[in-house]
Structure 1
Amino acid sequence: MEITNNTVVGLTYELKVSREADEIESAPFSVEVRDEDDPFYFLFGNSGLPEKFEELLAGKKQGESFSFTLLAAEAYGEADDEMIMAIPKAQFTSERGFEEGMLDEGNFLPLMDENGYPMQAKVLKDLGEEVLLDFNHPLVGFDLHFEGEVMEVREATAEELSHGHVHGEHGHQH
């Protein structure tokens, strides 16, 4: 079976990133490895991943390898200053699941949007009564270099299609 819309895809890969700064590109460095013990599964065509990522995987079959680069503009784009916000520290209470040290600079805070979907923000600076958070995607501004293999391709179930995500061992548990 080949990767098409509404298939569940399982990948193993290494993701390296690089950034162009003042016309000098940094050497790619590894930021994520998904191996056979922890493959990455997603619903093709409904993943929320960059469009170009899915486009370059379309038509591949189980066992096929892949190697491609997404330029920052094809991936998560450039940083948006409007995604950097000062939030009152009073919103990050222990009653809401926040612990001491979570607001330290450089940490990523696990948050939820207004619809209950998980999201994260990077703590940029402690401003006293407020904390400066960056809600941009962590890979914004980077070129993404993927090298890996298609581990599995299968038809999505009706339930997966109606929920919009993968269920079971490698997906969402309800």
Structure 2
Amino acid sequence: MKIQENAVVGLTYELKVSKIEDDIESVPFSVEVRDEEDPFYFLFGQSGLPERFEELLNGKKEGDGFSFSLSVQEAYGEPDDELLVNLPKSQFSQERGFSEDMVKEGEFLPLMDENGYPMQAKVLKDLGESVLLDFNHPLVGFDLHFEGTVIEVREATPDEIAHGHVHGENGEEE
């Protein structure tokens, strides 16, 4: 089966990122490796991944290798200053499931949006009574370089399509 809309896709890959500053591109450095022990599974067409990522995998089949790069614009775009938010520290209390260690500069806070979907914010600065959080995607502002292999392609179940994610062993629990 080839990768197409509503297929469950399993990948192994290495993701490297680079950034252009002052017209000089940095040397790509590795930020994630998904190997046979921890492959990445997603529902094609409903993944929330950059559109260009899916376009470049479309039509590939199990065993196919891939190597491509996404520019900042094709990936997660440039940082948005409107996604920098100052919130009171009191919102991150132990009663709400947060520990003091979680609310430190550089840490990512696991949060939920108003619809109950998981999201995260990076703690940029501890301002005493409040914290400055960055809700931009962690890969915003970077060119992404993928190299990997398609290890599985199968039809999604009706439940997976309805729920918009992969179920079972390599996806979320049903």
Scaled by the length of structure 2, the TM-score of the pair is: 0.99
Q: CA deviation at 1:36?
A: 0.3
Q: Which portions of structure 1, spanning 4 or more consecutive aligned residues, are displaced by more than 4 angstroms?
A: none
Alignment correspondent of 1:137 = 137
Alignment of 1:60-71 (within 5 A): 60-71=60-71
Q: CA RMSD in A?
A: 0.5
**Letter of the 2:141 counterpart:** G
User: In 1, Cα distance between the equivalents of 2:77 and 2:59?
Assistant: 25
**Residue in 2 aligned with 1:95?**
95
**1:11 Cα deviation from its structure 2 partner:** 0.2
Deviation of residue 101 (structure 1)? Answer: 1.6
How far apart, CA to CA, are the structure 2 residues paired with 1:167 and 1:57?
Answer: 21
Aligned equivalent of 2:79: 79
Partners of 2:128 and 2:145 lie apart in 1 by: 39
Does residue 57 of the first structure (1) align with residue 57 of the second (2)?
A: yes
Q: SS of the residue aligned with 1:102?
A: helix
**Structure 1 stretch 40-49 or stretch 96-105: which is displaced more?**
96-105
How many residue pairs match? The answer is: 174
> What is the rounded CA distance, in whole Å, between the counterparts of 1:10 and 1:85 in structure 2?
35
The percent of aligned pairs where both chains have the same amino acid is 74
Scaled by the length of structure 1, the TM-score of the pair is 0.99
Confirm whether residue 42 of structure 1 aligns to residue 79 of structure 2.
no
The equivalent residue for 2:146 is 146
Residues 94-145 of structure 1 deviation map (CA, whole Å, 9 limit, x = unaligned): 1111001211111111111111111110000011111000000000000000
Tell me, in whole angstroms, the C-alpha distance in 1 between the residues paired with 2:63 and 2:133: 41
SS in 1 for 2:120: strand
Task: Judge which range, 129-138 or 100-109, deviates more.
Answer: 100-109
1:44-93 deviations in Å (ceiling 9; x for gaps): 00100000000000000000000000000000000000000000001001
Letter in 2 for 1:27: V
